[in-house]
Chain A
Amino acid sequence: MPYSFPLGPYHPALEEPFKVKVQCKGEVIESATVEVGFSYRGIELLAQKRNWVEVITLIERVCGICSNTHAMTFCMAAETIAGIELPKRAAHIRTIIAELERLHSHLLWAGVGAEDIGFHSLFMEVFTLRERVMDTLEAISGNRVNYGMNCIGGVLRDIPDPAAHLPALDALAKGLGEVVIPTFTQNPTALARTRGVGRLTKEQAVEWAVVGPVARASGLDIDVRKDQPYLSYADLDFESVVRPEGDVLARVVVRALEMMESVRLIREALLSLPPGPLRATQGLPEIPVGEATIRTEAPRGEAFYYVASEGGASPARVKIRTPSFVNIPAIEPMVMGQPLADLSIIQASVDPCISCTDR
Protein backbone atom coordinates (compact mmCIF):
# COMPACT_ATOMS: atom_id res chain seq x y z
CA MET A 1 0.00 0.00 0.00
CA PRO A 2 1.40 3.42 -0.90
CA TYR A 3 2.18 5.70 2.01
CA SER A 4 3.68 9.14 2.42
CA PHE A 5 6.70 9.75 4.61
CA PRO A 6 7.81 13.20 5.80
CA LEU A 7 11.56 13.61 6.31
CA GLY A 8 12.11 16.82 8.23
CA PRO A 9 11.80 19.73 8.71
CA TYR A 10 14.34 18.69 11.35
CA HIS A 11 16.78 16.67 9.36
CA PRO A 12 18.39 13.61 10.95
CA ALA A 13 21.85 14.46 9.57
CA LEU A 14 21.92 18.11 8.55
CA GLU A 15 21.68 20.91 11.08
CA GLU A 16 19.21 23.02 9.18
CA PRO A 17 15.46 22.67 8.65
CA PHE A 18 13.99 21.59 5.34
CA LYS A 19 11.39 19.03 4.52
CA VAL A 20 11.21 16.28 1.92
CA LYS A 21 7.82 14.61 1.72
CA VAL A 22 8.00 11.34 -0.20
CA GLN A 23 5.32 8.99 -1.54
CA CYS A 24 6.49 5.40 -1.22
CA LYS A 25 5.30 2.09 -2.50
CA GLY A 26 6.92 -0.52 -0.31
CA GLU A 27 10.53 0.54 0.02
CA VAL A 28 10.62 2.46 -3.26
CA ILE A 29 10.07 6.21 -3.53
CA GLU A 30 7.50 7.16 -6.19
CA SER A 31 7.50 10.92 -5.87
CA ALA A 32 8.89 13.63 -3.64
CA THR A 33 8.03 17.20 -2.70
CA VAL A 34 10.60 19.57 -1.25
CA GLU A 35 9.56 22.31 1.17
CA VAL A 36 11.88 25.12 2.25
CA GLY A 37 11.41 28.42 4.06
CA PHE A 38 11.69 27.33 7.69
CA SER A 39 14.56 29.69 8.49
CA TYR A 40 13.57 32.81 6.55
CA ARG A 41 15.22 35.91 7.99
CA GLY A 42 14.43 38.60 5.41
CA ILE A 43 18.07 39.53 4.80
CA GLU A 44 17.35 41.15 1.42
CA LEU A 45 14.93 43.61 3.05
CA LEU A 46 17.23 44.19 6.03
CA ALA A 47 20.04 45.04 3.60
CA GLN A 48 18.02 47.98 2.31
CA LYS A 49 17.85 49.38 5.82
CA ARG A 50 21.57 49.21 6.64
CA ASN A 51 24.43 51.37 5.39
CA TRP A 52 27.04 50.07 2.92
CA VAL A 53 29.49 49.05 5.68
CA GLU A 54 26.91 47.30 7.86
CA VAL A 55 25.48 45.40 4.87
CA ILE A 56 28.77 43.51 4.44
CA THR A 57 28.52 42.19 8.02
CA LEU A 58 24.86 41.36 7.46
CA ILE A 59 25.39 39.64 4.08
CA GLU A 60 28.23 37.58 5.54
CA ARG A 61 25.59 35.95 7.74
CA VAL A 62 23.45 34.73 4.82
CA CYS A 63 25.27 31.41 5.12
CA GLY A 64 27.15 29.84 7.99
CA ILE A 65 29.47 27.85 5.74
CA CYS A 66 30.12 29.93 2.60
CA SER A 67 29.97 33.23 4.51
CA ASN A 68 32.93 34.76 2.68
CA THR A 69 31.44 34.12 -0.78
CA HIS A 70 28.44 36.29 0.01
CA ALA A 71 30.37 39.21 1.51
CA MET A 72 32.89 38.99 -1.33
CA THR A 73 30.27 38.91 -4.10
CA PHE A 74 28.42 41.84 -2.55
CA CYS A 75 31.67 43.84 -2.31
CA MET A 76 32.46 42.98 -5.95
CA ALA A 77 29.03 44.29 -6.98
CA ALA A 78 29.54 47.54 -5.03
CA GLU A 79 33.01 47.91 -6.56
CA THR A 80 31.54 47.45 -10.04
CA ILE A 81 28.97 50.19 -9.38
CA ALA A 82 31.59 52.58 -7.99
CA GLY A 83 34.16 51.67 -10.67
CA ILE A 84 36.79 50.69 -8.09
CA GLU A 85 39.59 48.49 -9.38
CA LEU A 86 40.66 45.84 -6.89
CA PRO A 87 44.40 45.81 -6.04
CA LYS A 88 46.22 42.66 -7.20
CA ARG A 89 47.21 41.63 -3.68
CA ALA A 90 43.63 41.99 -2.46
CA ALA A 91 42.39 39.83 -5.38
CA HIS A 92 44.90 37.12 -4.45
CA ILE A 93 43.94 37.22 -0.77
CA ARG A 94 40.24 37.01 -1.68
CA THR A 95 41.01 34.01 -3.91
CA ILE A 96 42.92 32.28 -1.09
CA ILE A 97 40.09 32.82 1.39
CA ALA A 98 37.46 31.74 -1.16
CA GLU A 99 39.35 28.51 -1.91
CA LEU A 100 40.03 27.79 1.78
CA GLU A 101 36.32 28.23 2.33
CA ARG A 102 35.56 25.81 -0.52
CA LEU A 103 37.95 23.30 1.10
CA HIS A 104 36.29 23.52 4.51
CA SER A 105 32.81 23.42 2.96
CA HIS A 106 33.58 20.34 0.84
CA LEU A 107 35.28 18.64 3.82
CA LEU A 108 32.26 19.41 5.97
CA TRP A 109 30.08 17.88 3.27
CA ALA A 110 32.33 14.80 2.95
CA GLY A 111 32.08 14.33 6.72
CA VAL A 112 28.31 14.69 6.77
CA GLY A 113 28.05 12.41 3.74
CA ALA A 114 30.14 9.75 5.49
CA GLU A 115 27.94 10.11 8.56
CA ASP A 116 24.81 9.71 6.39
CA ILE A 117 25.99 6.34 5.07
CA GLY A 118 26.94 5.29 8.62
CA PHE A 119 30.68 5.51 8.05
CA HIS A 120 31.79 7.09 11.35
CA SER A 121 35.52 6.47 11.14
CA LEU A 122 35.64 8.26 7.77
CA PHE A 123 33.71 11.16 9.32
CA MET A 124 36.42 11.40 11.99
CA GLU A 125 39.22 11.33 9.39
CA VAL A 126 37.55 14.04 7.33
CA PHE A 127 36.89 16.33 10.29
CA THR A 128 40.50 15.97 11.48
CA LEU A 129 41.55 17.32 8.08
CA ARG A 130 38.91 20.05 8.18
CA GLU A 131 40.34 21.25 11.48
CA ARG A 132 43.60 22.11 9.68
CA VAL A 133 41.67 24.30 7.23
CA MET A 134 39.77 25.98 10.06
CA ASP A 135 43.04 26.67 11.92
CA THR A 136 44.51 28.21 8.75
CA LEU A 137 41.43 30.40 8.27
CA GLU A 138 41.60 31.46 11.91
CA ALA A 139 45.30 32.25 11.64
CA ILE A 140 44.68 34.48 8.61
CA SER A 141 41.42 36.16 9.53
CA GLY A 142 41.12 35.86 13.32
CA ASN A 143 37.87 33.92 13.16
CA ARG A 144 36.78 30.41 12.25
CA VAL A 145 33.46 31.13 10.59
CA ASN A 146 32.70 34.74 9.68
CA TYR A 147 36.10 35.90 8.52
CA GLY A 148 35.26 39.59 8.04
CA MET A 149 37.96 39.84 5.36
CA ASN A 150 36.11 41.93 2.81
CA CYS A 151 35.47 45.61 2.50
CA ILE A 152 34.37 47.58 -0.52
CA GLY A 153 37.58 48.20 -2.46
CA GLY A 154 39.76 45.46 -1.02
CA VAL A 155 40.42 43.28 1.99
CA LEU A 156 40.77 44.23 5.65
CA ARG A 157 43.51 41.81 6.66
CA ASP A 158 46.84 40.88 5.12
CA ILE A 159 48.60 37.51 4.90
CA PRO A 160 51.99 38.68 6.21
CA ASP A 161 53.76 35.31 6.06
CA PRO A 162 52.31 33.19 3.19
CA ALA A 163 54.89 30.40 3.60
CA ALA A 164 53.66 29.68 7.14
CA HIS A 165 50.45 28.15 5.75
CA LEU A 166 52.15 25.73 3.33
CA PRO A 167 52.68 22.84 5.86
CA ALA A 168 48.91 22.73 6.51
CA LEU A 169 48.32 22.46 2.74
CA ASP A 170 50.84 19.60 2.47
CA ALA A 171 49.13 17.73 5.33
CA LEU A 172 45.78 18.33 3.64
CA ALA A 173 46.90 17.09 0.24
CA LYS A 174 48.40 13.99 1.93
CA GLY A 175 45.25 13.28 3.94
CA LEU A 176 42.98 13.77 0.95
CA GLY A 177 45.12 11.74 -1.42
CA GLU A 178 45.92 8.87 0.96
CA VAL A 179 42.79 8.53 3.10
CA VAL A 180 39.66 10.42 2.04
CA ILE A 181 39.64 9.94 -1.75
CA PRO A 182 40.72 6.24 -1.73
CA THR A 183 38.16 5.43 0.98
CA PHE A 184 35.29 7.06 -0.89
CA THR A 185 36.26 5.55 -4.25
CA GLN A 186 37.53 2.07 -3.25
CA ASN A 187 35.98 1.06 0.05
CA PRO A 188 33.19 -1.48 -0.70
CA THR A 189 30.94 -0.07 2.06
CA ALA A 190 31.17 3.47 0.69
CA LEU A 191 30.75 2.30 -2.92
CA ALA A 192 27.69 0.18 -2.09
CA ARG A 193 25.91 3.24 -0.73
CA THR A 194 26.95 5.73 -3.45
CA ARG A 195 27.51 4.05 -6.85
CA GLY A 196 24.47 4.30 -9.12
CA VAL A 197 22.44 5.96 -6.35
CA GLY A 198 20.40 9.14 -6.91
CA ARG A 199 21.19 9.48 -10.58
CA LEU A 200 20.60 12.82 -12.32
CA THR A 201 21.12 12.63 -16.09
CA LYS A 202 22.66 15.45 -18.11
CA GLU A 203 19.23 16.27 -19.63
CA GLN A 204 17.62 16.38 -16.18
CA ALA A 205 20.49 18.54 -14.92
CA VAL A 206 19.77 21.06 -17.69
CA GLU A 207 16.02 20.84 -17.11
CA TRP A 208 16.31 21.44 -13.35
CA ALA A 209 19.02 24.09 -13.93
CA VAL A 210 21.37 22.73 -11.29
CA VAL A 211 24.70 24.46 -10.70
CA GLY A 212 28.07 23.73 -9.13
CA PRO A 213 29.35 20.26 -8.24
CA VAL A 214 25.88 18.73 -8.82
CA ALA A 215 25.89 19.96 -12.45
CA ARG A 216 29.52 19.02 -12.97
CA ALA A 217 28.85 15.49 -11.66
CA SER A 218 26.14 15.16 -14.34
CA GLY A 219 28.53 16.03 -17.15
CA LEU A 220 27.72 19.75 -17.44
CA ASP A 221 30.99 21.67 -17.61
CA ILE A 222 29.86 24.91 -15.97
CA ASP A 223 32.02 26.79 -13.51
CA VAL A 224 32.09 30.59 -13.17
CA ARG A 225 35.78 30.42 -12.26
CA LYS A 226 36.44 29.06 -15.77
CA ASP A 227 33.60 30.57 -17.82
CA GLN A 228 33.91 34.12 -16.53
CA PRO A 229 37.14 34.29 -14.50
CA TYR A 230 37.07 36.79 -11.64
CA LEU A 231 39.67 37.66 -8.96
CA SER A 232 42.91 35.79 -9.72
CA TYR A 233 41.49 32.62 -11.29
CA ALA A 234 42.67 33.55 -14.80
CA ASP A 235 46.26 33.99 -13.52
CA LEU A 236 46.23 30.70 -11.64
CA ASP A 237 45.14 28.47 -14.57
CA PHE A 238 42.08 27.02 -12.94
CA GLU A 239 40.80 23.69 -14.28
CA SER A 240 37.29 22.44 -13.60
CA VAL A 241 36.42 18.85 -12.65
CA VAL A 242 33.65 17.11 -14.61
CA ARG A 243 32.23 13.58 -14.28
CA PRO A 244 29.56 12.12 -16.58
CA GLU A 245 27.91 9.52 -14.29
CA GLY A 246 25.51 11.79 -12.37
CA ASP A 247 25.21 9.57 -9.28
CA VAL A 248 26.13 10.26 -5.66
CA LEU A 249 29.59 8.76 -6.21
CA ALA A 250 30.23 11.22 -9.07
CA ARG A 251 29.27 14.12 -6.81
CA VAL A 252 31.66 12.82 -4.15
CA VAL A 253 34.47 12.45 -6.70
CA VAL A 254 33.86 15.92 -8.20
CA ARG A 255 34.05 17.51 -4.76
CA ALA A 256 37.11 15.45 -3.80
CA LEU A 257 39.03 16.38 -6.95
CA GLU A 258 37.91 20.00 -6.59
CA MET A 259 39.49 19.97 -3.13
CA MET A 260 42.80 18.84 -4.68
CA GLU A 261 42.47 21.66 -7.23
CA SER A 262 41.70 24.12 -4.40
CA VAL A 263 44.83 23.03 -2.51
CA ARG A 264 46.86 23.62 -5.68
CA LEU A 265 45.24 27.06 -6.27
CA ILE A 266 45.85 28.15 -2.67
CA ARG A 267 49.47 27.03 -2.82
CA GLU A 268 50.10 28.90 -6.09
CA ALA A 269 48.29 32.01 -4.85
CA LEU A 270 50.28 31.98 -1.59
CA LEU A 271 53.58 31.57 -3.45
CA SER A 272 52.80 34.27 -6.01
CA LEU A 273 51.26 36.81 -3.63
CA PRO A 274 51.99 40.15 -5.35
CA PRO A 275 53.10 43.15 -3.29
CA GLY A 276 50.93 46.23 -3.10
CA PRO A 277 48.12 47.86 -1.18
CA LEU A 278 45.23 45.92 0.38
CA ARG A 279 42.58 48.52 -0.35
CA ALA A 280 41.90 50.76 -3.32
CA THR A 281 39.98 53.25 -1.19
CA GLN A 282 40.28 54.58 2.33
CA GLY A 283 37.57 55.48 4.78
CA LEU A 284 33.88 54.82 4.40
CA PRO A 285 32.68 53.91 0.89
CA GLU A 286 30.60 56.21 -1.29
CA ILE A 287 28.62 54.31 -3.90
CA PRO A 288 27.17 56.36 -6.81
CA VAL A 289 23.87 55.68 -8.57
CA GLY A 290 24.03 52.46 -10.54
CA GLU A 291 23.40 48.75 -10.58
CA ALA A 292 25.47 45.62 -11.04
CA THR A 293 25.05 41.87 -11.37
CA ILE A 294 27.88 39.63 -10.28
CA ARG A 295 28.29 35.86 -10.49
CA THR A 296 30.83 33.94 -8.44
CA GLU A 297 31.41 30.25 -7.86
CA ALA A 298 30.46 29.48 -4.26
CA PRO A 299 31.37 26.03 -2.87
CA ARG A 300 27.89 24.81 -3.88
CA GLY A 301 27.79 26.47 -7.28
CA GLU A 302 26.98 29.77 -8.88
CA ALA A 303 26.01 32.58 -6.51
CA PHE A 304 24.25 35.48 -8.20
CA TYR A 305 24.00 39.01 -6.81
CA TYR A 306 22.08 41.99 -8.12
CA VAL A 307 22.87 45.21 -6.26
CA ALA A 308 21.27 48.57 -7.05
CA SER A 309 22.33 51.89 -5.59
CA GLU A 310 20.47 55.18 -5.60
CA GLY A 311 23.52 57.01 -4.29
CA GLY A 312 22.37 57.01 -0.68
CA ALA A 313 23.85 55.59 2.48
CA SER A 314 22.20 52.18 1.90
CA PRO A 315 21.78 49.91 -1.12
CA ALA A 316 18.43 50.34 -2.89
CA ARG A 317 18.13 46.60 -3.61
CA VAL A 318 20.20 43.51 -2.89
CA LYS A 319 18.96 40.40 -4.68
CA ILE A 320 20.65 37.17 -3.70
CA ARG A 321 20.26 33.91 -5.59
CA THR A 322 22.23 31.20 -3.91
CA PRO A 323 23.30 27.88 -5.50
CA SER A 324 21.27 25.74 -3.10
CA PHE A 325 18.12 27.56 -4.20
CA VAL A 326 18.31 25.74 -7.56
CA ASN A 327 20.03 22.57 -6.35
CA ILE A 328 17.51 21.63 -3.64
CA PRO A 329 14.49 21.15 -5.98
CA ALA A 330 16.60 18.72 -8.04
CA ILE A 331 16.30 16.26 -5.14
CA GLU A 332 12.84 15.44 -6.55
CA PRO A 333 14.03 13.77 -9.80
CA MET A 334 17.02 12.22 -7.99
CA VAL A 335 15.02 10.20 -5.46
CA MET A 336 12.41 8.76 -7.87
CA GLY A 337 12.58 4.97 -7.93
CA GLN A 338 15.21 4.89 -5.20
CA PRO A 339 14.93 2.97 -1.91
CA LEU A 340 13.71 5.02 1.06
CA ALA A 341 16.95 4.25 2.94
CA ASP A 342 18.94 6.14 0.29
CA LEU A 343 16.85 9.31 0.64
CA SER A 344 19.15 10.63 3.35
CA ILE A 345 22.39 10.35 1.34
CA ILE A 346 20.73 11.52 -1.90
CA GLN A 347 19.43 14.73 -0.41
CA ALA A 348 22.73 15.26 1.38
CA SER A 349 24.58 14.74 -1.92
CA VAL A 350 23.38 18.07 -3.35
CA ASP A 351 24.95 19.68 -0.26
CA PRO A 352 21.82 21.64 0.59
CA CYS A 353 22.47 24.86 2.44
CA ILE A 354 19.15 25.88 3.89
CA SER A 355 20.05 29.21 5.42
CA CYS A 356 21.38 30.30 1.99
CA THR A 357 18.17 29.17 0.33
CA ASP A 358 15.85 30.83 2.82
CA ARG A 359 18.02 33.94 3.37
Chain B
Amino acid sequence: MAMLKTILGNLLRPSRTRAPADMPVVPPTYRGALTHDAGRCTACGTCAFVCAPKAIHFTQEPGISVSWHFFIGQCSFCGLCEQNCPTRAIHLRADIPGSMNSAGGDGLRLESVIHLQPCTRCGAAHVPLPAATMDALWAAGADEAERGYCPDCRRWAASARLRTAFTPDGAVAEGGRHDR
Protein backbone atom coordinates (compact mmCIF):
# COMPACT_ATOMS: atom_id res chain seq x y z
CA MET B 1 0.00 0.00 0.00
CA ALA B 2 2.83 2.37 0.94
CA MET B 3 4.53 1.54 -2.35
CA LEU B 4 1.33 2.35 -4.24
CA LYS B 5 1.16 5.72 -2.48
CA THR B 6 4.77 6.47 -3.43
CA ILE B 7 4.17 5.54 -7.08
CA LEU B 8 1.03 7.68 -7.26
CA GLY B 9 2.83 10.56 -5.59
CA ASN B 10 5.70 10.31 -8.06
CA LEU B 11 3.31 10.23 -11.01
CA LEU B 12 1.55 13.39 -9.84
CA ARG B 13 4.77 15.32 -9.15
CA PRO B 14 6.61 17.10 -11.96
CA SER B 15 9.95 15.75 -13.19
CA ARG B 16 12.95 16.47 -10.98
CA THR B 17 15.40 16.25 -13.85
CA ARG B 18 16.28 19.71 -15.05
CA ALA B 19 15.30 20.62 -18.60
CA PRO B 20 17.98 22.24 -20.77
CA ALA B 21 16.23 25.61 -20.45
CA ASP B 22 16.10 25.33 -16.66
CA MET B 23 19.83 25.76 -16.09
CA PRO B 24 21.24 27.65 -13.13
CA VAL B 25 22.09 31.24 -14.01
CA VAL B 26 25.70 31.73 -15.01
CA PRO B 27 27.00 34.09 -12.32
CA PRO B 28 28.63 37.34 -13.46
CA THR B 29 31.77 36.24 -11.60
CA TYR B 30 32.07 33.12 -13.80
CA ARG B 31 35.62 32.77 -15.08
CA GLY B 32 35.24 31.84 -18.75
CA ALA B 33 36.65 33.09 -22.03
CA LEU B 34 39.72 35.27 -21.67
CA THR B 35 40.06 38.49 -23.63
CA HIS B 36 43.04 40.81 -23.95
CA ASP B 37 42.87 44.46 -24.95
CA ALA B 38 46.12 45.48 -26.63
CA GLY B 39 45.10 49.15 -26.31
CA ARG B 40 45.24 48.93 -22.54
CA CYS B 41 48.24 46.61 -22.18
CA THR B 42 51.53 48.15 -21.15
CA ALA B 43 53.45 44.86 -21.46
CA CYS B 44 54.45 45.13 -17.80
CA GLY B 45 54.52 41.33 -17.47
CA THR B 46 52.44 41.07 -14.27
CA CYS B 47 50.05 38.54 -15.87
CA ALA B 48 52.94 36.29 -16.89
CA PHE B 49 54.45 36.64 -13.38
CA VAL B 50 51.28 35.51 -11.53
CA CYS B 51 50.33 32.74 -13.99
CA ALA B 52 51.15 29.48 -12.21
CA PRO B 53 50.73 27.14 -15.24
CA LYS B 54 52.63 29.60 -17.48
CA ALA B 55 49.80 29.98 -19.99
CA ILE B 56 50.86 33.58 -20.73
CA HIS B 57 54.14 34.74 -22.20
CA PHE B 58 55.54 37.70 -24.10
CA THR B 59 57.68 37.84 -27.20
CA GLN B 60 59.14 40.93 -28.79
CA GLU B 61 60.31 42.22 -32.11
CA PRO B 62 62.80 44.84 -30.99
CA GLY B 63 61.81 48.32 -32.05
CA ILE B 64 58.54 47.22 -33.66
CA SER B 65 56.19 45.40 -31.33
CA VAL B 66 55.63 43.35 -28.18
CA SER B 67 53.29 40.35 -28.48
CA TRP B 68 51.18 38.88 -25.71
CA HIS B 69 50.56 35.12 -26.07
CA PHE B 70 48.00 32.96 -24.31
CA PHE B 71 47.61 29.19 -24.60
CA ILE B 72 44.27 27.92 -23.29
CA GLY B 73 45.60 24.35 -22.92
CA GLN B 74 47.72 25.50 -20.00
CA CYS B 75 45.19 27.90 -18.45
CA SER B 76 43.73 26.95 -15.07
CA PHE B 77 41.13 29.79 -15.11
CA CYS B 78 42.23 31.01 -11.68
CA GLY B 79 41.64 34.60 -12.79
CA LEU B 80 44.79 35.96 -11.15
CA CYS B 81 45.89 37.67 -14.39
CA GLU B 82 42.63 39.63 -14.43
CA GLN B 83 42.86 40.38 -10.69
CA ASN B 84 46.44 41.63 -10.88
CA CYS B 85 46.43 43.49 -14.21
CA PRO B 86 47.16 47.14 -13.28
CA THR B 87 45.50 48.55 -16.42
CA ARG B 88 42.58 46.06 -16.64
CA ALA B 89 43.67 44.84 -20.06
CA ILE B 90 42.71 41.21 -19.30
CA HIS B 91 39.15 40.17 -18.69
CA LEU B 92 37.61 36.73 -18.10
CA ARG B 93 34.13 36.93 -19.60
CA ALA B 94 31.15 34.98 -18.31
CA ASP B 95 30.84 32.82 -21.41
CA ILE B 96 32.41 29.55 -22.44
CA PRO B 97 35.79 29.86 -24.14
CA GLY B 98 35.28 29.49 -27.88
CA SER B 99 37.70 29.21 -30.75
CA MET B 100 40.37 31.87 -30.70
CA ASN B 101 42.38 33.85 -33.18
CA SER B 102 45.32 31.59 -33.60
CA ALA B 103 48.55 31.78 -35.49
CA GLY B 104 49.00 28.03 -35.10
CA GLY B 105 45.52 27.44 -36.53
CA ASP B 106 44.48 25.16 -33.67
CA GLY B 107 42.09 27.68 -32.09
CA LEU B 108 43.74 27.26 -28.70
CA ARG B 109 45.99 30.29 -28.70
CA LEU B 110 45.31 33.97 -28.34
CA GLU B 111 47.77 36.53 -29.60
CA SER B 112 47.67 40.25 -29.36
CA VAL B 113 50.24 42.63 -30.73
CA ILE B 114 51.15 45.83 -28.92
CA HIS B 115 52.79 48.16 -31.45
CA LEU B 116 55.64 50.26 -30.18
CA GLN B 117 55.60 53.99 -30.89
CA PRO B 118 58.60 56.23 -31.42
CA CYS B 119 59.11 58.79 -28.68
CA THR B 120 58.30 62.29 -29.98
CA ARG B 121 61.38 63.64 -28.21
CA CYS B 122 64.18 61.08 -28.49
CA GLY B 123 62.71 58.70 -31.04
CA ALA B 124 63.12 55.56 -28.91
CA ALA B 125 60.46 52.90 -29.57
CA HIS B 126 58.28 52.35 -26.48
CA VAL B 127 54.95 50.87 -25.40
CA PRO B 128 52.50 53.79 -25.20
CA LEU B 129 50.40 54.28 -22.06
CA PRO B 130 46.73 53.25 -22.35
CA ALA B 131 44.52 56.14 -23.51
CA ALA B 132 42.48 56.07 -20.27
CA THR B 133 45.62 56.29 -18.13
CA MET B 134 46.92 59.16 -20.26
CA ASP B 135 43.63 61.04 -19.95
CA ALA B 136 43.72 60.62 -16.18
CA LEU B 137 47.36 61.71 -15.94
CA TRP B 138 47.05 64.66 -18.30
CA ALA B 139 43.69 65.83 -16.93
CA ALA B 140 45.52 68.12 -14.52
CA GLY B 141 46.70 70.15 -17.49
CA ALA B 142 50.17 68.80 -18.09
CA ASP B 143 52.09 69.61 -21.24
CA GLU B 144 50.29 67.96 -24.19
CA ALA B 145 53.62 67.56 -25.95
CA GLU B 146 54.66 65.01 -23.32
CA ARG B 147 51.95 62.55 -24.41
CA GLY B 148 54.19 60.96 -26.97
CA TYR B 149 57.23 60.72 -24.69
CA CYS B 150 58.89 57.43 -23.78
CA PRO B 151 59.15 56.61 -20.03
CA ASP B 152 62.72 57.94 -19.87
CA CYS B 153 61.75 61.23 -21.49
CA ARG B 154 58.71 61.53 -19.22
CA ARG B 155 61.05 61.12 -16.27
CA TRP B 156 63.39 63.74 -17.76
CA ALA B 157 60.46 66.14 -18.29
CA ALA B 158 59.24 65.63 -14.72
CA SER B 159 62.69 66.28 -13.35
CA ALA B 160 63.02 69.36 -15.59
CA ARG B 161 59.75 70.70 -14.20
CA LEU B 162 61.05 70.13 -10.68
CA ARG B 163 64.29 71.96 -11.47
CA THR B 164 62.38 74.89 -12.97
CA ALA B 165 60.39 75.18 -9.80
CA PHE B 166 63.60 75.46 -7.75
CA THR B 167 65.61 77.77 -10.02
CA PRO B 168 64.10 81.27 -9.87
CA ASP B 169 64.88 82.37 -13.43
CA GLY B 170 63.44 79.17 -14.87
CA ALA B 171 66.42 78.65 -17.12
CA VAL B 172 66.94 74.99 -17.87
CA ALA B 173 69.93 73.94 -19.86
CA GLU B 174 68.81 72.07 -22.94
CA GLY B 175 70.65 68.92 -23.81
CA GLY B 176 69.94 66.82 -20.72
CA ARG B 177 69.19 63.86 -22.92
CA HIS B 178 69.42 60.44 -21.43
CA ASP B 179 71.72 57.89 -22.88
CA ARG B 180 70.23 55.63 -25.46
Contact = CB atoms under 8 A, between A and B. Distances in A.
Interface in A49-68: 50-51, 53-58, 60-61
Contacts of B51: 54
Contacts of A156: 79, 83
B80 A157 contact: no
Interface string B27-57: 1011100000000000000100111110000
A51 B52 CA distance: 8
Contacts of B80: 53, 56-57, 148
Which one of B25, B30, B46 has the greatest number of beta carbons of chain A within 10 Å?
B30
Given A146-B76, A148-B80, A138 B27 contact: yes
Interface string A121-149: 00000001000000100111111001010
Given A143-B77, A146-B78, A53 B29 contact: no
A1 interface: no
A284 interface: yes
A353 B140 CA distance: 58
Interface residues on A, range: 20 to 34
A148 B78 contact: yes
Given A50-B52, A138-B24, A57 B30 contact: no
A255 to B, nearest CB: 24
Contacts of B29: 139-142, 157
B84 A57 contact: no
B16 interface: yes
Nearest to A125: B16
A61 B77 CA distance: 12
Nearest to B50: A53
Contacts of B50: 51, 53-54, 284
Contact of B52 (A57, A142, A151): A57
A56 B46 CA distance: 16
Given A146-B76, A284-B84, A54 B52 contact: yes
A155 to B, nearest CB: 11
B31 A143 contact: yes
B52 A139 contact: no
Interface in B75-114: 76-80, 83-84
A128 B49 contact: no
A143 B53 CA distance: 18
A140 B31 CA distance: 12
B51 to A, nearest CB: 7
Which one of B50, B52, B79 has the greatest number of beta carbons of chain A within 10 Å?
B52
Contact of A53 (B24, B25, B77, B84): B84
Contacts of A60: 78
Contacts of B27: 138-140, 142
Chain A facing B: main interface SS: helix
Interface in B1-19: 16
Contacts of A55: 52
Nearest to B83: A156
A357 B50 CA distance: 27
A80 to B, nearest CB: 22
Contacts of B77: 143, 146
Nearest to B32: A142
B31 A142 contact: yes
Nearest to A143: B31
A138 B31 contact: no
Contacts of B49: 51, 53, 284
Contacts of A135: 24
Nearest to A148: B78
Contacts of B16: 128
Nearest to B27: A139
Nearest to B51: A54
Interface in A279-299: 284
B13 to A, nearest CB: 14
Which one of A138, A140, A157 has the greatest number of beta carbons of chain B within 10 Å?
A138
B70 to A, nearest CB: 16
Contact of B31 (A57, A128, A139, A148): A148
Nearest to B18: A131
A318 to B, nearest CB: 14
Interface of B: 16, 24-25, 27, 29-31, 46, 49-53, 76-80, 83-84
Given A51-B50, A57-B80, A139-B25, 8 more contacts: A50-B52, A60-B78, A138-B30, A139-B27, A148-B31, A148-B78, A148-B80, A284-B46
Q: Which 10 A-B pairs have the closest CB atoms?
A: A142-B29, A57-B52, A54-B52, A53-B50, A139-B27, A148-B78, A57-B78, A142-B31, A142-B30, A135-B24
23 contacts: A51-B50, A53-B52, A54-B52, A55-B52, A56-B52, A57-B52, A57-B53, A57-B76, A61-B76, A128-B16, A135-B24, A138-B30, A142-B27, A142-B31, A143-B30, A143-B31, A143-B77, A148-B78, A151-B83, A156-B79, A157-B29, A284-B46, A284-B50
